[in-house]
Amino acid sequence: MRSEHTQPFMQLRSVGKRFGGVEALRNVDLDIHSGEVLGLLGDNGAGKTTLVKVLAGVHSLSSGEIWCKGQSVDISAPKVAHELGIETVFQDLAMVPNLGVTDNFFIGREITTTLIPKLIKVLRSKAMHADARETLNRLDIHIPSLKVSVDSLSGGQRQAVAIARAIRWKANLVILDEPTAALSVPEQNKVLELTRSLANQGVAVIYITHNMSDVLAVTDRIAVMYRGLKAGELITAQTSQGEIVEMIMSGKRSRA
């Protein structure tokens, strides 16, 4: 759990994002803390994925500022997000389907040996397989072969591999956008367990879901989006499903 007095890993201030006439995000203030699972909730079209894409360097801001460890940052590209240790796990785009597990682990960050400087580099396949296998074993994730393409894995195995990859690259912030949609119950439980272990290792986690039992099981704090605005925040241990649903539906805090 986080200490109340530590600086947030990230701070969003008055963040806005426009797509032509659509204001997908308006004036959003949000603090993201290391060691905490922050649930990002809201109805369809509320702005959750847009907020994630702003943090992942997919969309540029229309207005506002983002701070990382107290410094103003311009997350102008996914590469910048990676350099800040921000890893995003999308339900469908988590991995390249026709590549193997190890290839997906190291995509864009392959281990190589330089034979002739600036001319020939060779991939160190064995080292990458061993490295991927070590991470998966440590997290108790069972994948029979790391060479098979990831589209032959189950949905839960894919999510688990994507989370393991984020751990391998020592992410500071892992964003999970609807990670358990379409998973079996044991697979959902594995993803929830991995999410919790990320936070226990000091990683900040943003967890987007429409599933209330996931929200109550895994989040520490909840931010509710409503039509592009942040409707409010709730502490999971001090709220109820009824209060959360009310805020999602009306954009307002229900009266006690």
Rounded to whole angstroms, how far apart are CA atoms 202 and 215?
19
DSSP states along 16-30: EEEETTEEEEEEEEE
Minimum gap (Å) between residue 108 Cβ and Mg ion: 24
50-83: string of b/e by CB count within 10 Å (b at 16+)? bbbbbbbbebebeebebbbeeeebebeeeeebbe
Q: Interface with ligand ATP includes 148 (CB under 6 A)? A: no
What is the sign of the dihedral through the CA atoms of 177, 182, 188 and 191? negative
Minimum gap (Å) between residue 234 Cβ and ligand ATP: 17
- Are 148 and 101 in contact by the 8 Å Cβ rule? The answer is yes
Q: Interface with ligand ATP includes 190 (CB under 6 A)? A: no
**Stretch 43-62: interaction string toward Mg ion, x if CB under 5 A:** ------x-------------
Strands 173-177 and 86-90, by their bridges, are parallel
Q: Interface with ligand ATP includes 93 (CB under 6 A)? A: no
Q: Interface with ligand ATP includes 22 (CB under 6 A)? A: yes
Minimum gap (Å) between residue 36 Cβ and Mg ion: 21
Residue 22's binding partner among ligand ATP, Mg ion, none (Cβ under 5 to 8 angstroms by kind) is ligand ATP
Q: Interface with ligand ATP includes 49 (CB under 6 A)? A: yes
User: Toward ligand ATP, which CB reaches closer, 19 or 201?
Assistant: 19
Residues that bind Mg ion (CB under 5 A): 49
